[in-house]
Structure 1
Amino acid sequence: MSLLLGDTVPDFTAETTNGPMSFHDWIGDEWAFFFSHPADFTPVCTTEMGRTAQLAENFAQRGVKPIGLSTDHVSEHLKWIEDVNDTQSTTLRFPIVADPNCEVAKLYEMIHPGESQTAAVRSVFIIDPNKKLRLTMTYPMSVGRNFDEILRVIDALQTGDANGVATPADWRPGDLAIIPPSVSNSEATEKFPQGFDEIRPYLRTVDISSK
């Protein structure tokens, strides 16, 4: 099964460092940042787990709940968290899914045989409160994720949902947004009373910060 953008993500039950969990119930009415790592007690993964913990407030401000996964057991996760906290100067509180039989990793296509037959690659799934898959990113085992980009794309998705706009390359909160081609000029005039710039008939920018 291929997971495509806009699909309802598969539900699952699993043991985690915060106790048993049903994934859809755990997401509830919030967004989720679901990410996998190859193995506990490995260097790149340690920095990523630490960075996620350090950004706890940033995720919370956006209504996003982080949750990790690897194909290790809960007991290994719990021991490793102590190392993460110590080496990364943080306190890790978000759950980490234990998936020793690779059931969830296979369900979410985190096992890439060219990288490993048993360990998950660095997958990212951004999931909205309707349990819809909104973004995926896949990093190789040797490359740590860019958390600035993860937060940026969450901001872009949430801004688009709230304002009915698209966002250009390298968009950051406060930058001009783009009016989608599906919105006519008359609709845009009503929707964006602050006005917009028509650079081309297909390229119209709007300052949503002044809306």
Structure 2
Amino acid sequence: MAPFSDSTQDTPPLRIGEIVPRFTARSTQGVIDLADYDDRWFILFAHPADFTPVCTSELIELAKAEADFAALDCALIGHSVDSLYSHLAWLRAIHELSGVKVGFPLVEDPSMEIARAYGMMSCDATDATTVRTTYFIGPGGILHASICYPLNVGRSIPEMLRLVKALQEAERNDALAPANWQPGDALLRDPEETIGKVLSGSKANDWFYSPFRAGGRDGK
């Protein structure tokens, strides 16, 4: 793995809009260099350990949905603090358990260097229980969203797909995705920032709440 900067200092959690730390590491699909993903969307999702019940269920469901993410040109990269050989044994066990083959790479991080660089754990942490974050990363390595999960609750794969679609659609249309947005729903325009624009709207709310559908059709 490529070295990071001073690992004796705690790294704060990544913030939206920041460029995520690059790394080169061994994975179940060979050595991967995160810089190779700079021109596309990808999701990096972390696990605290192999052979754990919730994480096992997540890998099975993510593997089943890999084609759905690929249709969005969004790659999946798994991360766990265990070693490559532990990963390989885990994926073999998952295949025997479910018949599912995990096709996306699962990165090893036995030194927990990646986990610390991403701010998932402190430098003096005694275990990896906090390594349960999902990062939604766009072109240029820019973090667009992140979600932290506890050990006892699994990720929602439909919500991961919805969030990728919402992020991409909002960026493509220079717009905002409202609550409960689903593909095909109306988006929201950015609020106006001058009094002239505020007063020119036909309704009092037009300046700050103006739905529209991609393609130009207004939607309420």
TM over 0.5, shorter chain: yes
1:140 pairs with 2:146: no
Partner of 1:177: 187
Partner of 1:21: 32
1:207 pairs with 2:218: no
Say if 1:8 and 1:133, in contact at 8 Å, map to a contact too. yes
Q: Secondary structure at the match of 1:130?
A: helix
Q: Secondary structure at the match of 1:152?
A: helix
More off after superposition, 79-88 vs 3-12: 79-88
CA deviation profile, 1:150-181 (whole Å, cap 9, x unmatched): 11111111001111110110000111110111
1:127 pairs with 2:137: yes
Partner of 1:45: 55
Distance in 1, matches of 2:58 and 2:204, equals 41
Counterparts of 1:96-107 in structure 2, within 5 Å, are 96-107=106-117
CA deviation profile, 1:84-138 (whole Å, cap 9, x unmatched): 223233221100010001000111122269x962345310000001110000100
Over 3 Å counting, the alpha-carbon distance change for 1:179 and 1:171 in structure 2 is same
Letter paired with 2:152: S
Distance in 2, matches of 1:170 and 1:130, equals 27
Partner of 1:30: 40
Letter paired with 2:177: T
CA deviation profile, 1:33-55 (whole Å, cap 9, x unmatched): 00001211111111101111000
CA deviation profile, 1:40-75 (whole Å, cap 9, x unmatched): 111111110111100011100101000011111111
Over 3 Å counting, the alpha-carbon distance change for 1:206 and 1:197 in structure 2 is farther
Letter paired with 1:73: S
Q: Secondary structure at the match of 2:165?
A: helix
Partner of 1:109: 119
Bigger strand share:
1
Distance in 2, matches of 1:61 and 1:183, equals 37
Distance in 2, matches of 1:19 and 1:81, equals 14
1:168 pairs with 2:174: no
Partner of 1:79: 89
Say if 2:130 and 2:150, in contact at 8 Å, map to a contact too. no
**TM-score, L = length of structure 1:** 0.86
Structure 1, gaps ≥5 residues long: 188-195
Structure 2, gaps ≥5 residues long: 1-10
Q: Secondary structure at the match of 1:19?
A: coil
1:11 pairs with 2:17: no
Give the CA RMSD over aligned residues: 2.5
Partner of 1:192: none
**TM-score, L = length of structure 2:** 0.83
